[in-house]
Amino acid sequence: MKPHPPRPLALALAAPAVGALALAALLPAAAAHAATGPAPLPSLVVNEIDASGVPGDWIEIKNTGTTDVDASGMILKDDKDSDRFDIPAGTTIKAGGYASFQVDDPNTPGNFGLGKGGDAARLYLPDNTTLLDSFTWASDSEPGSWGRCPDGTGDFAVTVSTTRDAANDCTPSGTPTTPAEPHTVADALPWPGSPEVSDANVKDYFGTNLSGLSYQLGENGTPDTLWAVKNGPSTLYKLQRSGKNWVPTGQGGWADGMQLRYPDGTGDPDAEGVVLTADGVFVGTERNNDDSKVSRPAILRFDPKGEGTELSATTEWNLTSDLPGLGANLGIEGLGMVPDSELVSKGFVDEATGKAYDPATYPNHGAGIYFAGVEGTGKLYGYALDTSGSGTFTRVATIDSGFPAVMELQYDAEKHGLWAVCDNTCGGQYALLDIAKSGANAGKYAVATVYDRPANMPNYNNEGFVTAPQALCVDGRKPAFFTDDDQDQGVSLREGSIDCLAADVTSPAPTTPSTPGGGGTTPDGSDPADPAGTPSATTSPGATSPAASTPASTTSAAGSASTDAPSGGASSPSSGPLASTGASNWLVFGSAAALVLIGAGTSLAVTNRRRKHS
């Protein structure tokens, strides 16, 4: 390094004097700063959290200090940095006081939901960098909320009850309690199949967000296909069995799943439900993930023969005008299609006309009515969709599921009913609905019975469910599939079983597969490559007619004593989830031949609970 030249002596002597003067000038300021320290942070803490969704998800802040605090512009977040709720201007929290904020209010910009089964609540200064306080939980807070015990200062515990904007209702010891598992219907029947489930995907392959399912039976030696959707990024998969796992087919460009787009080729539709029919692959969506704060409930149609890496919808039925006020993350979760033939034969009443359903009322609507399950309302909505490309629709049904939220909806051709599925919010329960023949609900879908999840399957966040066709019924059982939105233990897809009676149903005639990677008949028995085609039902080999196969006596799913099957009416059970239905019609199914009631006035006691999902 080049040496510095020597400085003049006068300059060298002056330097210490100048430095001393500068130091003397700085010392008072430094001393003052040392005496006061940096400005103290506001004395605010996250004090109580209710993620139940009743009446909304909210976070309570407490001021533990002795002076009022202006909280204007402070920021609340969950476990995602992209979710942000700005505390309104003019918000002052009094000393020792409370303020709570419903973060999932659909009328508030930046709203987001909180996950009952696991999430976080974080409080930031307006700079969006300084974290004041936070709490992360991994389980539900039944029977109360997550709150600090003692109030304002202690660790978080499950409180005895929610106490919004007041001191927390702590347990005597102030320690967390074990949350009770939620059950919307307390006396639901046991799962009508094996209590066991097994892993059915390559570990960690899908990640989180796998959702709806639809089963396509292979024909003429082609493999069966599970159609599955992932809600973020929006992806449609064609899965085929490889050993014990179901993996994406490598044919036709489907090896990694197809990225889904809106008809104009843009966006990231939040795909939640899926059903394959003669008119294509139909997907139920909540919103455009590229504009995730805005609700956009819609049904999209895609070509199952598409190639490449992306699929643009051929038609969008935007249901926003028909389903106003939904939270952006509380829209369509499940989708199924019921054939016209079944609706007509059972006397289905069209809500739009008030008369018996007539398919001719809706030209170009395809082979049936599409039913969408909505998370935010817990209802099922039936639509006649104009499939000519106009995107027009008519609502023909509004149905109470008995659940506070619906996470999947499936038409079961063998049980001739609709499955409405509630996830871990309800302890993983499944309602089977059918069209009532008489009473106040005559001609309308009503809850027949409710089942608990398979006994040995934990309370996963299952948002997808489908049963295999009756052709796969062996020894009284056939496969059933469940998708776990949270990918617990690296597993997104699990396989179990459900009871079946092969002699009690008919199966569609074989059709020529034409979809990529093999194909076959759709769940409604039609050929997806033949939009004009209709199901051609023939009796399964070795099957008899339903009337001939009705057993003379049955045993309840709960294992009660045998009961003669009624020939011209039946007496209602005196207890259990069916006791209050007041129905008079029996439906027999299951290897245990569980008696299930379909009828008027179905009434289910429910606890309104909701969970966040991706």
Pairing of strands 234-242, 225-231: antiparallel
Query: Is cis: bond before 150, omega within 30 of 0?
Result: yes
Averaged pLDDT score across all residues of the chain: 79
Query: Was domain 198-525 assigned CATH 3.60.21?
Result: no
pLDDT for 121:
94
410 SS3 class: strand
For 538-576, the pLDDT digits (tens) are 333 333 333 333 333 333 333 332 323 323 333 333 333
Nearest CA-CA partner of 144 in 157, 156, 162? 162
Length of the chain: 614
Instruction: Report how far residue 86's alpha carbon sits from residue 105's, in angstroms, rounded to the nearest whole number.
Output: 12
**Does the pLDDT value for residue 516 go beyond 50?**
no
For 115-170, the pLDDT digits (tens) are 877 788 999 999 998 899 999 887 778 778 999 999 999 989 888 889 999 999 98
Structure-block tokens of residue 403? 């659940």
Q: What is the DSSP letter of 76?
A: E
Where is pLDDT greater, at 429 or 535?
429
Nearest CA-CA partner of 193 in 439, 477, 550? 477
How would DSSP label each residue in 174-194?
Answer: ----PPPPP-SSTTPBPPSS-
pLDDT for 160:
85
- With 0.85 as the threshold, say if the pTM is over it: no
pLDDT for 180:
53
Domains of the chain by residue range = 44-158, 198-525
pLDDT for 502:
56
**Does the pLDDT value for residue 34 go beyond 50?**
no
How would DSSP label each residue in 223-289?
Answer: PPEEEEEEETTEEEEEEEEETTEEEE--GGG-TT-EEEE-TTS---EEEEEEEEETTEEEEEEEEEG
Q: What confidence category does residue 497 fall into, taking pLDDT thresholds of 50, 70 and 90?
A: very high
Pairing of strands 258-261, 310-312: parallel
Is residue 342 within a helix (H) or strand (E), and if so which, with residue range?
Answer: helix 340-345
Is residue 551 within a helix (H) or strand (E), and if so which, with residue range?
Answer: none
SS (H, E, C) 448-468: EEEEECCCCCCCCCEEEEEEC
**Does the pLDDT value for residue 31 go beyond 70?**
no
Say how far residue 333 (Cα) sits from the centre of its chain. Answer: 5
Pairing of strands 131-137, 417-422: unpaired
Q: Give the angle subtended at the CA of 338 by the CAs of 300 and 371, to the nearest 5°.
A: 45
Instruction: Report how far residue 401's alpha carbon sits from residue 446's, in angstroms, rounded to the nearest whole number.
Output: 8
26 phi and psi angles, rounded to 5 deg: -80, -25
Nearest CA-CA partner of 212 in 482, 446, 437, 430? 482
Pairing of strands 58-63, 98-102: antiparallel
Instruction: Report how far residue 156's alpha carbon sits from residue 175's, in angstroms, rounded to the nearest whole number.
Output: 8
For 457-493, the pLDDT digits (tens) are 999 999 999 999 999 999 999 999 999 998 999 999 9
Where is pLDDT greater, at 39 or 302?
302
Q: How far is CA 259 from CA 73, 147, 216, 389, 486, in A?
A: 38, 41, 20, 21, 20
426 phi and psi angles, rounded to 5 deg: -110, 15
Alpha-helical regions (H) of 543-598: 546-549
Q: What is the mean pLDDT of residues 199-224?
A: 94
24 SS3 class: helix
Identity of the amino acid at 169:
D
Considering only the top CATH level, what class is 44-158?
mainly beta
Q: What confidence category does residue 183 fall into, taking pLDDT thresholds of 50, 70 and 90?
A: low
| HSE-up (13 A, CA, CB side) for residue 334 | 34
Nearest CA-CA partner of 432 in 445, 417, 442, 422? 417
Nearest CA-CA partner of 295 in 402, 365, 211, 377? 377
